[in-house]
Amino acid sequence: MNILFVVSEAVPLVKSGGLGEYAGSLPKTLASLGVDVRVMLPAHEEIAGGYRCKFREAVAGTLKMGGELQHWRLLEADVQGIHYYLLENAHYFGRRGLYGYDDETERYVFYCLAAALAIRELAFQPDIIHCHDWQTALLPALLERDAQVGNYAHIPSILTIHNMHYQGKAEKAQFRRWLGLRPGEEKGLFLPLQENQAGSDKEWVSCLELGLTTASRVTTVSPSYADEIAEEPLGAGLSHIVRQRWGGVRGICNGIDTVSYDPTGDPAVPYPYASWRGKRLNKAALQRRLGLREDAGAPLFAIVSRLVWQKGLDLVISLLEQLVARGIQLAVIGAGEAYYESVLHSAATQYPGSLSVHTTFEDSLARQFYAGADFLLMPSLYEPCGISQRIALQYRTIPIVRLIGGLKDTIVPFDPLTGQGSGFAFEEYHPEELLAAVDRALQTYHDRNRWDALHTSIAALDLSWQSSASAYLSTYLETVISSHTS
């Protein structure tokens, strides 16, 4: 089976967050199951020269974007056993940063248009085109529009939603201009505009909505999140479309690359280890590096996350005084919204030796956080799946999470009576609920027998992509069969 991933980022080439981890690691496991998986992404400026020099031109072309002629090239190379394509255009992707520009929607509309043209020219014939999030959600609509053109004939598409809240919106008039459509053409073509909005060029079109309505199949990154986006507010205004989809939306939890994330051989870890007892030297090294009080007995909590409202940082900030009073040390790494960066930096000056904040994300340092910390805090307001809790478990760091989305599906609250579980959890989004979970975690931390039992329990977990990749393969087969019978 031939699968083409079309994404906005993928490790090892370039990564902003969990999507990059997903798009770099799932294809490897699918390949081990006999699938020919190829991955397409923009030729971002951040892609290191050591990788970029491996790529050679496969095809090239031009397209009109809003009346302006844009040149594009598709480059290809094998990297770590996977075939990658880079779609190159200096105007839209010859800049620093993957996201965050004023013309964000325009950039990724161009990417989808150019990808659609490039796919026609490839010798590789995919059985399924697998798209991810709003950045490539326009592609299923383009495939449907051009279903009888060249290599497009009857190629089904799958859209995986990694975060429903980011949708790639623009005014209808802008979409017309980008796609070269005359007024009214979009309605009979592929833009599913709501009838009660008709007649105004101020109507908003959402790339994610287009993908939801036109993809052959829709998946998301955990079963609980699939249920949550069928209702508001987590449906982000699109829950009615989720509910209307025939066959529903399938949730498949993310795994991690257990070869890359391996504390016994991770080059970023100062002192490789195989069990939680081996973490002690790494804890001391992390405390020294971050300027925290060097104390083996102090419970060290880590936050490895984008610093945005979704991640529950308001709860943590409101509890800082009480956490420090309990003897907790907190280490934070991640970049994000200026407000959270500023508040956390200010708090770090208030609690020297107990709070360290690093607002430039460094992968090697993040791995040292996982290796040195005792606990990982993830009190998310919402969390489609989450990858940090899985990495933490791989490094024998205990997650403290809110039972929402994928956190609910991947973390089992520890039961001291049975000695079973994989972390600590709370349900209501409230500071006192989080604090109660922290106190339960501290009770276990200070009880050697319970602490040993918890670590014995997590050591038995399968954190790899294996079962999830099998679920994706089943979804691919079902989608292909369905497309041939419809």
Q: What is the 3-state secondary structure (H, E, C) of 407-443?
A: HHHHCCECECCCCECCEEEECCCCHHHHHHHHHHHHH
SS3 at position 149? coil
Give CA–CA dist 309/341, Å, rounded: 11
SS3 at position 257? coil
Burial of 40 (0-12, 13-18, 19+ CB in 10 A): buried
Which one, of 247, 248, 175, 173, lies nearest residue 210 by Cα? Answer: 175
Give CA–CA dist 304/389, Å, rounded: 9
Cα dihedral value 273, 305, 218, 14, nearest 10: -80
* 28 annotated as belonging to a binding site for a ligand: no
**Cis before residue 233, ω within 30 degrees of 0?**
yes
- The H or E element containing residue 400 is strand 398-402
What values do phi and psi take at 356, rounded to 5?
Answer: -125, 135
Give CA–CA dist 230/251, Å, rounded: 12
Give CA–CA dist 369/399, Å, rounded: 13
Which one, of 246, 191, 238, lies nearest residue 218 by Cα? Answer: 246
Q: How many CA atoms lie within 13 A of 384 on its CB side?
A: 22
| Residue numbering of the annotated binding site for ADP-alpha-D-glucose | 15
| Residue numbering of the annotated binding site | 15
